Homo-oligomer: A and B are copies of this chain.
Amino acid sequence: MKEVSGGVCAPRGFRAGGIWCGIKASSRKRDLALIYSEKPCTAAAMFTTNKVKAASVLVSMEHLKGGVLRAVIANSGNANACTGEAGIAAARKMAGLAADLFAIRPEEVAVASTGVIGVPLPVAAIENSAESLADSLRADESGHAAALEAIMTTDTRKKDGAVEVEIDGKPVRLGGMVKGSGMIHPNMATMLGFITTDAAISRELLDKALRRAVKRSFNRVTVDGDTSTNDTILVMASGMAGNAPIAAEGPHWEIFADALEHLCVTLARAMARDGEGAARLVTVRLTGAATEDAAGTLARAVASSNLVKAACFGADANWGRILCAMGYSGADFDPAAVDVGFASCAGEIQVCSAGVAAPFSEEKAKEILSQEEIEIVISAGQGAGAATAWGCDLTYDYVKINGDYRS
């Protein structure tokens, strides 16, 4: 597997673009993105589990039923959520406008939105800019970059990547972009993620690979406890790599699924690193749980705890909060078998052994925890279940950013 450039434009057959159409009225930053495939794509997607679903999510869920996509149109600055029937009409209009540009069916277009909830989507602004949106499409990295910019809200960093693997003697590429820095939580809250690939793969196996990858990446990222109305992760496969279509599990599927998982983990880590106001990326590595699911539950509980997150901000080796978070996670484990350590580029240290304090140097712990990327290393001492979760610290800036988001 090798990293390549180009993002969603790295795989063959895709073009992308992004413009400012006027939804982000005051900042005049890009707010409308389009990804387009020359060929009909096999498609798979996962959406928010929130009972309150954005109009764009409802419309995309409907369009995905066909399993074939040609394009994704997405806006930032307005979530088109809690907007009633008018919101549904606006989402359909967005899909229709994109479809008209390429003389394809609206059902072949997915729609995504992110931004403030409960404000009518100014769909006229999108309509007036449809032609310039089409003009912005490029098949190279500049198109990818413009589209990515256009889906960002409070994100402070671009989160993207692309990889190449060989399947059936053919180079196969996968590229992706993701937005999301607040309201990130297991179940993919307020993240939009768009992944392209030129692999030839059946819809069923594409879906299976996506679910496995999401479980081990986006669903193990947490910035706060909130899940959003708009989460969408979507993968489109153009088939233009020319590999024999992957239609059964086996070595070819494994290569593809591993590459997809690698890309998703890269994007998920970047999202945690860009947590609203975050100063540190916190990786929780948990081994020795009874099952992978139990390990995931325990690791996520630690990464989600406000008290653990605040301690990370303060570079405070308060390991009791880690055991406490494991204790209310709902997963079964034996507190008396737990070891806890911290690691970073400054070294590593054990702070809890078999459930009780291990003697350690506070000074050394402070040094380790003061780095930009830190790891909480936990052994549950029970079984072979392992999982990694990613989060960030809780900072003054998180409060500041979220104290008055709408203005």
Interface residues of A (CB under 8 A from B): 49-53, 79, 81-84, 116-120, 182-183, 187, 189, 224-229, 304-307, 310-311, 313-314, 316, 318-321, 323-329, 332-333, 335-336, 352, 354-357, 394-396, 398-400, 402-407
Contact = CB atoms under 8 A, between A and B. Distances in A.
Contacts of A357: 82-83, 118-120
Contact of A324 (B117, B319, B325, B326): B117
Contacts of A335: 51-52, 82
Given A402-B306, A404-B314, A355 B323 contact: no
A83 B306 contact: no
A227 to B, nearest CB: 4
A339 to B, nearest CB: 12
A9 to B, nearest CB: 33
Contacts of A225: 225, 304-306
A403 B116 CA distance: 30
Contacts of A402: 306-307, 310-311, 314, 394
Nearest to A51: B327
A299 to B, nearest CB: 15
A404 B310 CA distance: 8
Contacts of A182: 307
B355 A306 contact: no
Contact of A316 (B119, B356, B403): B403
Contact of A226 (B307, B316, B354, B399): B307
A227 B226 CA distance: 17
A395 to B, nearest CB: 6
Contact of A52 (B120, B314, B324): B324
A381 to B, nearest CB: 14
B352 A321 contact: no
A114 to B, nearest CB: 12
Contact of A403 (B119, B229, B313, B319): B313
Contact of A306 (B79, B306, B332, B354): B306
A52 B326 contact: yes
A121 B72 CA distance: 60
Contacts of A51: 326-329, 332-333, 335
B399 A316 contact: no
Given A226-B305, A226-B306, A328 B49 contact: yes
Given A117-B324, A324-B117, A328-B51, A311 B396 contact: no
B398 A84 contact: no
